[in-house]
Amino acid sequence: MSRADPAGRTAQADSARYLTAGLPVVHGFTTRAGGVSGGPFASLNLGLSSGDERAQVEENRDLLLAELGFARAQVCAFDQVHGDRVLAGAPSWFEEEADAAVTDDPDTLLVVSVADCLPVLFLDPASGAVGAAHCGWRGTVKGLAARVVGELRARYGARPEELRVAFGPAVAGACYQVGPEVVERFADAGFPAAVAWPDAEPGRYRLDIAAANRWLLAREGVAPGHVHDLGLCTHCEPERFYSYRRDAGRTGRHWAFVSPRRPA
């Protein structure tokens, strides 16, 4: 099922390959359409860790980058480790370990890879700086989104209450079953009890990662009305999105991307 969008807005498709969230800069969240991969990876698989053929993944990446007007040498992409490291987004092609990055360079494209985890994009309207974060439950419980807000404030003078934030497609809370040890981690980190609730299966719970990140951002001073959630569940739409949980790991990867560059 889809997460509710409190603003009542819907995702707009800018191309056959990605959805946008209304930020006035180059940004988007890819779907599984518009690529060359086949089978469980059909068709725009952008991840090499999935088991897809490298040549097809590389062609998919080049198709997307060509549409966006960026070369690989302008991309900040990194090996994600479910941590809380935020890079100063100098271009690098999977050369660092991190889960988020920030930049104010309009010739740089930040990229995070997801297949159920929550992709979060940031924009500071005053400086033009942007951020991108890969927020799975481990990164969320470590406060990754809050770390991005802190980096934007420290590096670019961003005011948290002025930031614009977009949540892309991810597994919805009603579809995200976890064990008690995960819920305990969130409780120990100070998250409100409402981000998780008991499942019908005894001893199991449902976890709302989007709600947890909204709480983190609000605690940092981000205005709730400036957080736009596309409200799309990867688990519920197999024709549109990859889902690691739904497909038992044999599936592709999406990219969420953002740059300070203004759209043409």
Has residue 147 been placed in a domain?
yes
Q: Which domain holds residue 107?
A: 12-175+210-258
The answer to whether residue 244 sits within a structural domain is: yes
Predicted local distance difference test score (pLDDT) of residue 16 = 86
pLDDT for 76: 98
Residue 169 lies in a domain: yes
pLDDT at residue 14, rounded to an integer: 59
Asked if 74 and 90 count as a contact pair (C-beta separation under 8 A), the reply is no
Tens digit of pLDDT per residue, the chain (264 long)?
A: 333 333 333 334 458 899 999 999 999 999 999 999 999 999 999 999 999 999 999 999 999 999 999 999 999 999 999 999 999 999 999 999 999 999 999 999 999 999 999 999 999 999 999 999 999 999 999 999 999 999 999 999 999 999 999 999 999 999 999 999 999 999 999 999 999 999 999 999 999 999 999 999 999 999 999 999 999 999 999 999 999 999 999 999 999 999 999 998
SS (H, E, C) the chain: CCCCCCCCCCCEECCCCEEECCCCCCEEEECCCCCCCCHHHCCCCCCHHHCCCHHHHHHHHHHHHHHHCCCHHHEEEEECCCCCCEEECCCEEEEEECCEEEECCCCCEEEEEECCCEEEEEECCCCCCEEEEEECHHHHHCCHHHHHHHHHHHHHCCCHHHCEEEECCECCHHHCEECHHHHHHHHHCCCCHHHEEECCCCCCEEECHHHHHHHHHHHCCCCHHHEEECCCEHHHCCCCCCCCCCCCCCCCCEEEEECCCCCC
Q: How many Cβ atoms from other residues are within 10 Å of residue 239's Cβ?
A: 8
Per-residue buried b or exposed e for 192-218, using 16+ beta carbons within 10 Å of the residue's own CB: eeebbeebeeeeebbbbbbbbbbbbbe
Per the structure, how many domains does the chain have?
A: 1
In a domain, 2, yes or no: no
Q: What confidence score (pLDDT) does residue 209 get?
A: 98
201: in domain:
no
CATH of the domain at 148: 3.60.140.10
User: So what's the pLDDT on residue 111?
Assistant: 98
Report the pLDDT value the prediction gives residue 113, as an integer from 0 to 100: 98
The reported pLDDT for the residue numbered 165 is 98
Quote the CA–CA distance of 32 and 234 in Å, as a whole number. 10
Residue 190 lies in a domain: no
| Residue 181 located in a structural domain | no
Q: What is the pLDDT of residue 6?
A: 33
Confidence (pLDDT) at 255? 98
Is 92 a domain residue? yes
